[in-house]
Amino acid sequence: MRFVNEYRGPEAAARFARALEQAVTRPWTIMEICGGQTHAIIKFGIDQLLPDRITLVHGPGCPVCVTPVELIEKAIAVARLPRVVLCSFGDMLRVPGRSGDLLAAKAAGADVRVVYSPLDALALARAHPDREIVFFAVGFETTAPATALAVHQAAREGLKNFSLLVAHVLVPPAIEAILSSEAVRVQAFLAAGHVCTVMGWEEYVPIARKYRVPIVVTGFEPLDILQGIHMAVLQLEAGRAEVENQYSRAVRREGNAAARRLIGEVFEVVPRKWRGVGEIPDSGLGLRDNYAAYDAERRFALEAHSCDESPECISGLVLQGVKKPPECPAFAVACTPEHPLGATMVSSEGACAAYYRYRRAAAELPGGRRH
Amino acid sequence: MNDKADENDRPGFHCPVPLDRYPGVLLAHGGGGTLMHRLIEEVFVSAFSNLGLEARHDGARLDVGSVRLAFTTDSYVVKPLFFPGGDIGSLAVNGTVNDLAMCGARPLYLSAGFILEEGLPMETLQRIVGSMRRAAEAADVRLVTGDTKVVDRGKCDGMFINTAGIGIVEHALDIRPASVRPGDAVILSGDIGRHGMAVMAVREGLAFESTIESDCAALAGPVLALVQAGIEIHCLRDPTRGGLASALVEIAEAAACGVHLDEDAIPVRADVQAACEILGFDPLYVASEGRFVAFVAAGDAERALALLRAHPLGRDACRIGSVTSGGPGPVVMKCRLGGSRIVDMLSGEQLPRIC
């Protein structure tokens, strides 16, 4: 298939593996930020191609995983209200809150629908003026422009029955939080290519400089990731700490100006709690005052309940690259995709789900499933 | 109080499903993944096992006097009713014919139960019935009994169809997961994922450069070609809901064997792969309705491939892997890039990714 298979060629992958072998003289730990990259790494077996001295750790770049339980509880609460249709991306529906997940709310009678774009939710609002359409807006900078566009259009059309439960998060503050942590062991980052298609890569330059870490903007196909790792290793070996762009076929330095303008028009930067990690300053997007009418939390006066995480779940450490999923005592035992203790086991981009799906040891397979 | 009354209604029946976890049925319980298998085993098998239910096969095999019959049933709730390459009618005939074929049986008779929604256009019903007639003719089965119910508007998506089928087993092969042996060849009759993506594209209003057509077809022809040629078939399965991955995991677990797959050998058409990439789906989990996997004795693999490739429904047949000892499971796939990974059943249905 064109534009996919070219980036999955075994010969080219073997060439990168050999080049890495030649380049590496010391152990290095590299974090891929994005959950999409984590899944590609585990699914395609990219980590198995790397020299032993390169360790990949998995980052917090799964929007579903980091959405705090409190917001999921608010989504469930609003979905249960009469006349409300709650829309979100499919992945979000399975994530456990405190009182179940959105799919269970749906089974109990709530009108919960999967959409592919916030604009689909907007179309529902136009088609059903008697219903309140609430879009659960999760995602990093990648999905924020479409959310912003939906609100912008709703305002222009004067739609009164559309609102947002906003859970958007930003990547650079998360990288800084990881680098500021005492447990940090990450020496270089693969930045999330699709986030950078929107935002560009200028905002990573001060981070690379301040913390002296190489940051390579990287795509999602196997060869993208191998090349990104190779570029990061060359920097590490040479003692450089710069921002480089592996994903130049999609990412420009300044990103997508129109999308950034739209985000700035509708959203402002706010502090945000990350599931398993805690509050990170300036790490989220919230609606600006002139769009406050579209804020579902205000419209439905949703109350915040603080929620405790499962004490067994170490997803916070997994999301910060401190631990790998199999190091968790609950992994594949008390915590499975059917009965997840944390969001990292649910989402198609969650690190625990990736290891569960593609990498369980033989001992953890069947038997346990059939109990 | 109610609990007591319920217990009295069902003497000796204890539901082992942890009701505290799932007080209600979720859509995922019908998704062909782990949750559905648990539901089947923990609710249905535990209730009916004394009736000879063989939960891990597509149909039951019954000996009636000296005649060996295969008997199966399936319900069809597809939305939309019409999709490129088929409709709920052809699906309801072919699906049940295929369940019989997967028992190695020659399909003979079908029943059809129609649940119709008030207001369903008569023209729609006639089109679907016409499609069923053509599918039955093509599969050489007769629809001999039926039932009709009409429900209030809003109680079903236009129409649901249930079909049951009876076939006759004309050979001495014992085709079921327990017959699978280490060393067996795993043969796939063609490319995977077309039906699932065809329905998905219509349901979600996704337009691709070309229309993906469902592969919906009756598989008794190619299966009987193998049987009649004396191929030592150990197990057959059509990868419908849950896709190829779920079918293989199910069989590996039931057979207490492992399976080694070669990713490079599994055919996926470019348009199906493209649609999957866009939605973040793995074609291994996407349904086919006109494909099957055959576990055959290694020595018969080449002959089986030649026979299948000579049949219009098996032109792209290929060997995708082998059965290994030391099970049950896992199903392990050698990745194109050189590494390997586990192929497991999904919990429920695949959901589109976020970004």
User: CB A139 to CB B354 under 8 A?
Assistant: yes
- On whether residue B351 sits in a domain, the answer given is no
All residues of chain B having their beta carbon less than 8 Å from the beta carbon of residue A127 are none
Radius of gyration of chain A (CA): 21
Picking from B94, B97, B93, the residue whose alpha carbon sits closest to that of residue B114 is: B93
Q: Are residues B5 and B151 in the same domain?
A: no
- On whether residue B350 sits in a domain, the answer given is no
Domain A5-61+173-245 class? alpha beta
The reply to whether B21 touches chain A by the CB within 8 Å rule is: yes
The reply to whether B7 touches chain A by the CB within 8 Å rule is: no
User: CB B337 to CB A10 under 8 A?
Assistant: yes
From the list A142, A222, A338, the residue facing B355 with the nearest CB is A142
Q: Are residues B25 and B117 in the same domain?
A: no
Q: Are residues B220 and B329 in the same domain?
A: yes
The reply to whether A352 touches chain B by the CB within 8 Å rule is: no
Residue B165 has pLDDT above 50, yes or no: yes
CATH code for position B139: 3.30.1330.10
**CA-based angle B265:B256:B301, to the nearest 5?**
40
- On whether residue B355 sits in a domain, the answer given is no
Residue B19 has pLDDT above 60, yes or no: no
Predicted confidence (pLDDT) per residue in A237-254, tens digit = 999 999 999 999 999 999
pLDDT the model gives residue A346: 81
**CA-based angle A76:A77:A83, to the nearest 5?**
100
Q: Are residues B21 and B121 in the same domain?
A: no
All residues of chain B having their beta carbon less than 8 Å from the beta carbon of residue A14 are 338
Q: Are residues B86 and B183 in the same domain?
A: no
Predicted confidence (pLDDT) per residue in B167-214, tens digit = 999 999 999 999 999 999 999 999 999 999 999 888 877 777 678 999
One fold for both A5-61+173-245 and A68-168+256-299?
yes
Tokens matching residue B208: 């691709």
Banded pLDDT at B50 (limits 50, 70, 90):
low
- On whether residue B40 sits in a domain, the answer given is yes
All residues of chain A having their beta carbon less than 8 Å from the beta carbon of residue B338 are 10, 13-14, 45, 48-49
Q: What is the DSSP string of B301-343?
A: HHHHHHHHHTSGGGTT-EEEEEEESS-S--EEEE-TTS-EEEE
Contact A331, A353 (CB under 8 A): no
All residues of chain B having their beta carbon less than 8 Å from the beta carbon of residue A43 are 335, 341
Q: What is the mean pLDDT of chain A?
A: 91
- On whether residue B85 sits in a domain, the answer given is yes
pLDDT the model gives residue B53: 66
The reply to whether A194 touches chain B by the CB within 8 Å rule is: yes
User: CB A366 to CB B330 under 8 A?
Assistant: yes
B46-60, B62-76, B151-165, B194-208, range with the lowest pLDDT:
B46-60
Measured in angstroms, the CA of B237 and the nearest CA of chain A are apart by: 20
Query: Could you give the percent of chain A with pLDDT greater than 90?
Result: 68
Nearest CA in chain B to A11: B337
User: CB B337 to CB A49 under 8 A?
Assistant: yes
- On whether residue B143 sits in a domain, the answer given is yes
Measured in angstroms, the CA of B158 and the nearest CA of chain A are apart by: 20
Q: Are residues B83 and B109 in the same domain?
A: yes
The reply to whether A28 touches chain B by the CB within 8 Å rule is: no
Q: Are residues B247 and B316 in the same domain?
A: yes
The reply to whether B272 touches chain A by the CB within 8 Å rule is: no
Q: Are residues B198 and B319 in the same domain?
A: yes
User: CB A365 to CB B342 under 8 A?
Assistant: yes
Global confidence as pTM: 0.84
Query: Could you give the percent of chain A with pLDDT greater than 70?
Result: 96
3 state SS for chain A: CCCCHHHHCHHHHHHHHHHHHHHCCCCEEEEEEEHHHHHHHHHCCHHHHCCCCEEEEEEEECHHHHCCHHHHHHHHHHHCCCCEEEEECHHHHHCCCCCCCHHHHHHCCCEEEECCCHHHHHHHHHHCCCCEEEEEEEECCCCHHHHHHHHHHHHHHCCCCEEEEEEEECHHHHHHHHHHCCCCCCCEEEEEHHHHHHHCCHHHHHHHHHHCCCEEEECCCHHHHHHHHHHHHHHHHHCCCCEEECCCCCCCCCCCHHHHHHHHHHEEEEEEEECCCEEEEEEEEEECHHHHHHEHHHHCCCCCCCCCCCCCCCHHHHHCCCCCHHHCCCECCCECCCCCCCHHHCCCCCHHHHHHHHCCCHHHCHHHHCC
Measured in angstroms, the CA of A339 and the nearest CA of chain B are apart by: 8
User: CB A1 to CB B270 under 8 A?
Assistant: yes
User: CB A42 to CB B25 under 8 A?
Assistant: no
The reply to whether A368 touches chain B by the CB within 8 Å rule is: no
Structural domain of residue B43, as residue ranges?
Answer: 1-57
pLDDT the model gives residue A361: 63
Measured in angstroms, the CA of B347 and the nearest CA of chain A are apart by: 6
Nearest CA in chain A to B270: A1
Gap between the Cα atoms of A18 and A29, Å rounded: 18
pLDDT the model gives residue B54: 59
CATH code for position B241: 3.90.650.10
Measured in angstroms, the CA of B106 and the nearest CA of chain A are apart by: 33
Q: How far is CA B327 from the centre of its chain?
A: 23
CA atoms within 13 A on the CB side of A210: 11
Predicted confidence (pLDDT) per residue in B298-319, tens digit = 999 999 999 999 999 999 999 9
Compute the Cα dihedral for B112, B117, B119, B120 and give only its sign: negative
Q: What letter does residue B39 receive in the DSSP assignment?
A: H
Predicted confidence (pLDDT) per residue in A120-170, tens digit = 999 999 999 999 999 999 999 999 999 999 999 999 999 999 999 999 999
- On whether residue B303 sits in a domain, the answer given is yes
Residue A370 has pLDDT above 50, yes or no: no
The reply to whether A355 touches chain B by the CB within 8 Å rule is: no
Predicted confidence (pLDDT) per residue in A36-57, tens digit = 999 999 988 899 999 999 999 9
Q: Are residues B45 and B164 in the same domain?
A: no
End-to-end CA distance of chain B: 50
Domain borders along chain A are 5-61+173-245, 68-168+256-299, 315-369
For domain A68-168+256-299, give the CATH number.
3.40.50.11740
All residues of chain B having their beta carbon less than 8 Å from the beta carbon of residue A338 are 34-35, 38, 347
All residues of chain A having their beta carbon less than 8 Å from the beta carbon of residue B354 are 63-64, 89, 91-92, 138-139, 143, 349
Between A225 and B61, name the one with better pLDDT. Answer: A225
User: CB A359 to CB B342 under 8 A?
Assistant: yes
From the list A10, A91, A365, the residue facing B354 with the nearest CB is A91
Q: What is the ipTM of this complex?
A: 0.77
Q: What letter does residue B43 receive in the DSSP assignment?
A: I
A316-330, B48-62, B124-138, B159-173, range with the lowest pLDDT:
B48-62
Contact A283, A177 (CB under 8 A): yes
The reply to whether A143 touches chain B by the CB within 8 Å rule is: yes
User: CB B340 to CB A45 under 8 A?
Assistant: yes
Q: Are residues B293 and B278 in the same domain?
A: yes
Gap between the Cα atoms of A167 and A362, Å rounded: 37
Predicted confidence (pLDDT) per residue in A107-123, tens digit = 899 999 999 899 999 99
Number of domains into which chain B is organized: 3
User: CB B342 to CB A114 under 8 A?
Assistant: no
Amino acid in position B221: G
pLDDT the model gives residue B39: 86
Last residue in a domain, options B150, B170, B190: B170
CA atoms within 13 A on the CB side of B2: 0
All residues of chain A having their beta carbon less than 8 Å from the beta carbon of residue B38 are 338
- On whether residue B353 sits in a domain, the answer given is no
pLDDT the model gives residue B56: 61
pLDDT the model gives residue A369: 34
Nearest CA in chain B to A107: B26
Nearest CA in chain A to B264: A10
Banded pLDDT at A92 (limits 50, 70, 90):
confident
Q: Are residues B96 and B134 in the same domain?
A: yes
All residues of chain A having their beta carbon less than 8 Å from the beta carbon of residue B280 are 348
